[in-house]
Homo-oligomer: A and B are copies of this chain.
């Protein structure tokens, strides 16, 4: 069968990982790398040394790569601000595209990308590799089936994103309003901000963010966040994250009237009530009673194909072999939530209704960018991302 010819824009940590560790090692069954692109000649030189230039064309300009006729599909692995404009350039040319997380920095930009996707014949995917995790897929399934009843509380403590000074010094754009558009929320947490909505099937209707800016590192953006969520059904939530603590926690709990799900330490536990707890409360003659509850470790299919899973599915979807697992347009939900928390943080913890006012957000962000300072470090670094993708 014909293989999908992929081009990658951006040969930093992720782009080089996909090229050298996934494609070059045969992890993408129906896809091959036909072109690589980076504005930095030293990265192209380095990649040529690793992968050769027999079957791969190299570009410093991404539109030249798109117009070369050499790529059927593109993976965008550039700094966040560039994601939408590059995805739009692909979609307008009918080139299939997978956008790295986050979908963008602000919703106004992401909406334009989504409109381009709607008008395009090409497929639009997203690198939400943690959606492939069997534990999160199973949580979503149980909740969607009503397995824990009406959701009452969502709690995610995701504080195992420790990052060192060396990490922040690996790129001048890192951890700056102008280069990244945010800190731990936009760089480390897009997965959780996506999953917390995808798994529960609920989107917060209002949010508060309490953010520490450069609290644990010499950076201008947030590296410590506590967020509070309100949901339309009356549920509430907390979301706590930082890059300044270790050993952190990764504890995702969703409670409902029929029990709760707890995902921690690479296990999913189901606490299942015999009856709905609020109905029990109304009818029992016991003041301190609770419904009977059975606790089990949930079995899953054990699969977690991660980045390779997303790329394989995308290639297969292009070839008509599978349904697309992730509609790229859903990327806006994580950006909405991130923007809401960030805007609240800038406004001292004010309650922000979602969706955020896209113009207000963009105006505030532009203000931040005006005085933003790029880090005085080399941009030639490529980090080994092994062990950086989060643990449960």
Contact = CB atoms under 8 A, between A and B. Distances in A.
Interface of A: 152-153, 155, 157, 159, 162-167, 170, 208, 210, 212, 215-217, 224, 226, 228, 230, 234, 236, 238, 240, 242, 244-249, 251, 253, 255, 259-260, 262, 271, 273, 277-278, 280-282, 284-291, 293, 295, 348-349, 351, 383-388
A210 B238 CA distance: 11
A280 B164 contact: yes
A287 B165 CA distance: 7
B247 A259 contact: yes
A337 B348 CA distance: 21
A386 B287 CA distance: 11
A185 to B, nearest CB: 15
A247 B164 contact: no
Nearest to A351: B349
13 contacts: A152-B245, A163-B281, A164-B286, A165-B284, A166-B286, A215-B234, A216-B281, A244-B281, A245-B255, A246-B290, A288-B385, A288-B387, A349-B351
The quantity of this chain's copies bound in the complex is 2
Given A164-B281, A170-B287, A287-B383, 18 more contacts: A152-B245, A153-B240, A153-B242, A163-B287, A164-B289, A166-B286, A167-B287, A167-B288, A216-B281, A228-B228, A238-B240, A246-B277, A247-B260, A247-B293, A247-B295, A249-B262, A288-B385, A349-B351
Nearest to A350: B349
B255 A273 contact: no
Contacts of A287: 163-164, 166-167, 170, 383, 388
A101 to B, nearest CB: 17
A144 B7 CA distance: 56
Contact of A240 (B155, B247, B349): B155
Nearest to A256: B245
Contacts of A226: 228, 236, 238
Contacts of A224: 236
Nearest to A277: B246
A164 B285 CA distance: 8
Contact of A349 (B208, B234, B278, B282): B208
A332 B260 CA distance: 35
A159 B288 contact: no
Contacts of A282: 164-165
Contacts of A163: 281, 287-288
A277 B166 contact: no
Contacts of A383: 287-288
B247 A278 contact: no
Nearest to A389: B288
A236 B212 contact: yes
A351 to B, nearest CB: 7
Contacts of A234: 212, 215
A245 B153 contact: yes
Nearest to A290: B246
Contacts of A253: 157, 249
Given A163-B288, A247-B260, A238 B238 contact: yes
A247 B165 CA distance: 41
A278 B244 contact: yes
Contact of A281 (B217, B277, B289): B217
Nearest to A167: B287
